Amino acid sequence: MNREKEVLKIEHISKGFDQLNVLDDISLTVHEGEIIVIVGPSGCGKSTLLRCLNGLEAVDDGHVYLGEETVNPSVKNITRIRERIGMVFQSYDLFPHKTILENVTLAPMKVQKRKRAEVNEEAKKLLERVGLSAKMSQYPRQLSGGQKQRAAIVRALIMHPEVLLFDEVTAALDPEMVREVLDVMLDLARQNRTMLIVTHEMAFARAIADRVIFLDGGHIVEDSDPGEFFTLPKTDRARKFLNTFTFDTVNKEI
């Protein structure tokens, strides 16, 4: 573990859709073992930012580097680069025609050309760690949302990525299933994984983050440590945003 080592480097990236600037001159460096939580109102560009980081979207301007390599959908070795970046989506998106075990083992076998026996063994270990041993030979439709999302995390982990991107992974889940997924992510944090997490779970963000990025209108408005951000945000916009998560006690008229 080398906290000085730069894993991802984002330099002045901009991205627009139909003249609307979704990302506007964003720069950010992610160090090894660092956990960055990105928060902000809907439509602020959080998801687009993550999608640019593994080349699912092209940036209009600026550069994204993974180590020494440029990340962009048009570079020749983009699939090689994506192997090194794990991404988990909001809607889990397991492959419905494959069992949970097959979902997890497909990419290591077909992309990394690893041996079936070795991949199966690692898959079983990882699935056990997230509490899915009993579900290995079942199909995604037989699992709950939380179970599917845990399987999707394992599917990303087995590729041994250098950095993990989580795009609102609990947003589509029923409230009682949010916890089980967040617990898996807290476990990953204890293993010193490098992670970028987009989330609306503020208590979770505060607990897991080394740094909190507040994104609004395509800009990084704040970049601070969680203690500071959640108690004394520097900007008005952050304060307003955080206030949307708290409620005052209702004083009834008598």
Partner 1 sequence: MGFEVLFKGTNFIRLLEGLGVALRISMISVGISIVLGMILGTLMSLKNPVITVLSRIYLEIVHIMPQMVLLFIVFFGFSKVMGINIPAEASAIIVFSFWGTAEMGDLVRGCLISIPMIQYESSYALGMRRSKTYLYVIIPQIIRRLIPLSINLITRMIKTTSLIMMIGIVEVLKAGQQIIEANRRTSPHVAFGVFATVFLLYFLVCWPISQLSKYLEKRWS
Q: Which residues bind partner 1 (CB under 8 A)?
A: 54, 56, 79-80, 82-83, 85-87, 89, 91, 93, 95-97, 106-107, 110-112, 152, 155-156, 159
How far apart are the C-alpha atoms of 87 and 69, rounded to whole Å? 18
How far apart are the C-alpha atoms of 31 and 122, rounded to whole Å? 27
- In the complex, what is the shortest distance from the CB of residue 73 to partner 1, in angstroms, rounded to a whole number? 9
- In the complex, what is the shortest distance from the CB of residue 81 to partner 1, in angstroms, rounded to a whole number? 8
Nearer to partner 1, 58 or 203 (CB): 58
Nearer to partner 1, 107 or 189 (CB): 107
End-to-end CA distance of the chain: 61
Task: Give bridge partners of residue 216 from the DSSP assignment.
Answer: 219
How far apart are the C-alpha atoms of 226 and 254, rounded to whole Å? 40
Using DSSP, state whether 174 is helix, strand or coil.
coil
| Percent composition of the chain: helix, strand, coil (DSSP 3-state, to 5) | 35, 25, 40
Nearer to partner 1, 55 or 226 (CB): 55
Nearer to partner 1, 94 or 220 (CB): 94
How far apart are the C-alpha atoms of 45 and 51, rounded to whole Å? 10
- In the complex, what is the shortest distance from the CB of residue 176 to partner 1, in angstroms, rounded to a whole number? 24
Nearer to partner 1, 53 or 212 (CB): 53
- In the complex, what is the shortest distance from the CB of residue 139 to partner 1, in angstroms, rounded to a whole number? 10
- In the complex, what is the shortest distance from the CB of residue 198 to partner 1, in angstroms, rounded to a whole number? 15
